[in-house]
Structure formats: C-alpha cells, structure tokens
C-alpha cells in the first residue's frame, strides 16, 4: 500500500492536473505516559509514530483555497480572508487552521491542496493534530514559523474553532518529534528533552476498536474539574500542587475533585520518573509506572472503560514482567500502549489476538510503531 505522501500527490495530480509544488507531512503520536497533564501545565512523554497526514500543495490562480481529501474523495473551497465558517466533517479542521492564521493577521493567498492520512481516526493517536500541524506548515508558505508556533496554531484551531479544549501535547510532538526518541515535554515552558528509547525496546499500539464517542464533553468536563481545584488552591494550574498539600486538603475538597487532582499530581511524578527508568532499561519499574498510570486513569480520573482495562491487563501480563501497558490518549476508548523488549513482541501480539477472540470483536490495529521524526516540509521532487 502506498503511504499518505504518495496518495496526497496522486490526489493533487488527479484533482488539479499538475504536480504539486510542495509537501508537508506531520505524524500522529502515542503518549507513553503523562495523561491529562498537559492542560494542567504539567509533563508528558509522547513519541511521534510512523503514521501521519500529508498535504500536497501549490498556488492557485485565484484567491480561494481549494481542497481535496484523498481519504474521503470529497472537496472543499473557501475564502481564507473571510471569517471562519464551519463545514461538514474534515473541512472544518482545514478552515479552522486557516481561521487562526487570519485571526493572527497572517495573510494566506489562494492555494490548491490535497490531503491524505493513515492515522486511524478516533483511536487516540492524534489524527486531528497531525492534520492541523501539516496544514499549519502548508499555510506558512514562507516557512517563517517555528514548529512550536505551528503547534500552537494547530491547538488554537481546535480550541477556538473546532470546540475541543485540548492541551498542547499532540500538536507539539507532531511538530517536534524525533526519530528513535520520546520527548519529555514541560507543557508550561514548552521545553522538550529528547530521550532516546532503548534499541531493544518495542512500542506496541493496540487499538481497542472502541472509537471515542462523546469524548469532547467528558474531556472538557475533566479539564474544568482540574481548573476548579487549581482555583481552590489559588494556584495557576495543578502543576503547582504537591502531593502533601493535596492530601492535607482532602477534607475541604469534593471527593471527585480530590481524585481528579490526585491523578494529575501523581501522573506528573510518574512522567518525570520515566526517562531515567527507560534509559536504565529497568523493565520492572517501567511496568510499575505503566500499571500505576493506568490504575490512576481508571480509579481517579475515570476515563477508561472495562474493555480497555481488560486489554491493558492482558498485554501487561503478556510482558511477563518485562515492561508494561496502559491506555494512551484522551480516554473512553482508543488504544493501549505497551512498552516491552523486542523479544516479547510475539507474545504480546498473540495476547492481543486472544483478547479480541475472547470478546468476539474483530482485531483492530496491532502495530509495533517506529518512534519517528516530527513535521517534514519539502519541495516536491518530480
Ligand atoms: C487528548 C488531548 C491532549 C491531552 C490528551 C490526554 O489527546 O488532545 O491535549 O490532553 O488527550 O493526555
């Protein structure tokens, strides 16, 4: 099967009758640990994956933007100088990124665009972020903006126009990911430390097959709960709360709010601990951090589902103590990520297949991903 870049170029040729001038490509991501910490100004530890979204583009003879989606076989056409207006499905995401450029006073001229991607949607692997970052690089025709700036633009598109109050993790790792490494990102300063993954480590992604449903309202509700606890403590964000102060105030907090905050405080600590544990290939500790993270998402943040708990437990057991597994992403469906040694991969794949057979669901994506580089911008070579 040809990849998104080839498909975007082919769709461009088919739609516009010539080769594109350039190509942008941005990957999806898998978060290894640090869930729902980004919008609390905390720490996350994702890597970019070997799946993403490609945008082939060239100039147009008028001031309009023409777009074709290779995946949907659909088109859109809009005026980038006019105020943002939503349109069905994927079109809103494209218009939203253009809308942020407009809101920031960065003019976009007429363009022809073709888009193709291979990040499964609704799987918690950041298909929208990869689209947003690739589009940001497309509209930044002079190449003047830093990848971090493009990530902020893609996040603003989600926040201001699509209506999802997401944090910065997905867009930032999509823009700045590094091959063979995960990034420890400080979501307050946006500084990122590259942490090479051990050469014998496998990063296995298993999609539960449950696509995120009404996740946006639950996501926004979790975010609001965290902000309410931060306000209670008179701090800017839960990043500034330590475990002792939280424990001392347990009685003053609503029990649900207390548990939400405990997830964030403990998850930040686990995330900060992970890079050294990984560098030392301490598989037992890696497994413990993954298991604690999953339990915290299940019991305190309440964003897992019984089927996902089961899948994470099965994969974790299949590591035989060499690594571990946890749900990754926003929650309520999506994927489990397992970190283990390469030689354990066949056992984990089999365990995943057995899991799906036992619950009578067709296996979804079972993918040992290659931690990959972030945004690529290139001139198209004929
Ligand atoms: C989604 C959001 C991210 C982050 C994760 C949870 O992927 O887009 O900003 O909050 O959920 O860690």
Q: What is the pLDDT of residues 78-92, one digit of tens each?
A: 999 999 999 999 999
pLDDT tens figures, 314-348: 999 999 999 999 999 999 999 999 999 999 999 99
170 is catalytic: yes
> How far is Cα 112 from Cα 14, in angstroms, rounded to an integer?
12
- Report whether CATH 3.30.230.10 matches the domain 4-194+371-379: yes
Q: At CA 81, angle to CA 150 and CA 64, rounded to 5?
A: 95
- Res 53: pLDDT: 98
C-alpha 208 – ligand 1 centre gap (Å): 18
Domains 4-194+371-379 and 197-369 share a fold: no
Segments of the chain assigned E as strands = 22-33, 43-59, 65-69, 74-78, 111-117, 181-186, 192-196, 201-207, 323-328, 335-341, 366-369, 376-379
CA-CA-CA-CA dihedral for 152, 158, 159, 164, to nearest 10: -140
Q: Which residues of 41-65 are buried (b: 16+ CB within 10 A; e: fewer)?
A: bbbbbbbbbbbbbbbbbbebeeebb
- Res 382: pLDDT: 56
Which candidate, 185, 184, 169, 83, places its Cα nearest to that of 132? 169
- Res 379: pLDDT: 80
- Per the model's pLDDT, the better-predicted residue between 363 and 194 turns out to be 194
Q: Which of 76, 170, 200, 254 is catalytic?
A: 170
Closest ligand 1 atom number to CA of residue 223: 10
C-alpha 275 – ligand 1 centre gap (Å): 20
Which candidate, 238, 182, 244, 242, places its Cα nearest to that of 44? 182
Secondary structure of residue 259 in the 3-state scheme: helix
- Res 213: pLDDT: 58
Which candidate, 153, 146, 150, 184, places its Cα nearest to that of 47? 184
Spatial neighbors of 217 by CB under 8 A, at least 6 apart, are none
Provide the terminal-to-terminal Cα distance of the chain, rounded to the nearest Å: 20
**How large is the average pLDDT for residues 141-150?**
95
**How large is the average pLDDT for residues 187-205?**
98
> How far is Cα 252 from Cα 246, in angstroms, rounded to an integer?
10
pLDDT tens figures, 36-57: 999 999 999 999 999 999 999 9
Backbone dihedral angles phi then psi of residue 45, each to the nearest 5 degrees: -140, 70
- Res 212: pLDDT: 74
Domain positions in the chain are 4-194+371-379, 197-369
Mean pLDDT, all residues of the chain: 96
pLDDT tens figures, 13-27: 999 999 999 999 999
- Res 122: pLDDT: 87
Check whether 1 has a pLDDT greater than 70: no
Closest ligand 1 atom number to CA of residue 167: 9
Q: How far is CA 8 from CA 50, 54, 136, 346, in A?
A: 16, 6, 16, 34
C-alpha 313 – ligand 1 centre gap (Å): 22
User: Phi/psi zone of residue 169: left (φ > 0), alpha (ψ -120 to 50 degrees), beta?
Assistant: alpha
Homologous superfamily, domain 197-369: GHMP kinase, C-terminal domain (3.30.70.890)
């Amino acid at each position: 099967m040809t990849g998104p870049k080839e498909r975007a170029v082919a769709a461009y040729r088919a739609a516009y009758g010539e080769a594109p001038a350039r190509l942008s490509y941005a990957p999806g991501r898998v978060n290894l640990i640090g869930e729902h910490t980004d919008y609390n100004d905390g720490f996350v530890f994702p890597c970019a994956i070997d799946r993403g979204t490609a945008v082939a583009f060239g100039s147009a003879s008028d001031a309009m933007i023409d777009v074709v989606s290779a995946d949907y076989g659909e088109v859109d056409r809009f005026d980038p100088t006019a105020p943002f207006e939503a349109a069905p499905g994927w079109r809103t995401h494209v218009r939203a990124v253009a809308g942020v450029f407009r809101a920031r006073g960065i003019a976009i001229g007429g363009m022809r665009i073709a888009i193709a991607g291979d990040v499964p949607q609704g799987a918690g692997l950041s298909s929208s972020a990869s689209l947003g970052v690739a589009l940001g690089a497309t509209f930044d025709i002079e190449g003047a903006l830093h990848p971090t700036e493009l990530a902020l633009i893609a996040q603003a598109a989600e926040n201001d126009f699509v209506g999802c109050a997401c944090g910065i993790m997905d867009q930032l790792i999509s823009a700045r990911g590094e091959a063979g490494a995960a990034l420890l990102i400080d979501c307050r300063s946006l500084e990122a430390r590259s942490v090479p993954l051990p050469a014998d480590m496998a990063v296995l992604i298993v999609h539960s097959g449950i696509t995120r449903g009404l996740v946006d309202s639950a996501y926004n509700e979790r975010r609001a709960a965290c902000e309410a606890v931060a306000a209670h403590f008179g701090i800017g964000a839960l990043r500034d709360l330590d475990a002792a102060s939280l424990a001392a105030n347990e009685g003053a907090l609503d029990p649900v709010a207390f548990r939400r905050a405990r997830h964030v405080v403990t998850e930040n600590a686990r995330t900060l601990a992970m890079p050294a544990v990984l560098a030392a290939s301490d598989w037992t500790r890696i497994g413990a951090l993954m298991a604690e993270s999953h339990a915290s998402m299940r019991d305190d943040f309440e964003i897992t589902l019984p089927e996902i708990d089961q899948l994470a437990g099965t994969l974790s057991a299949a590591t035989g103590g060499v690594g571990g597994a946890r749900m990754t992403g926003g929650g309520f469906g999506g994927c489990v990520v397992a970190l283990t040694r390469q030689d354990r991969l066949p056992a984990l794949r089999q365990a995943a297949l057995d899991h799906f057979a036992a619950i009578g669901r067709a296996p979804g994506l079972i993918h040992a991903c290659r931690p990959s580089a972030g945004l690529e911008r290139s001139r198209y070579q004929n």
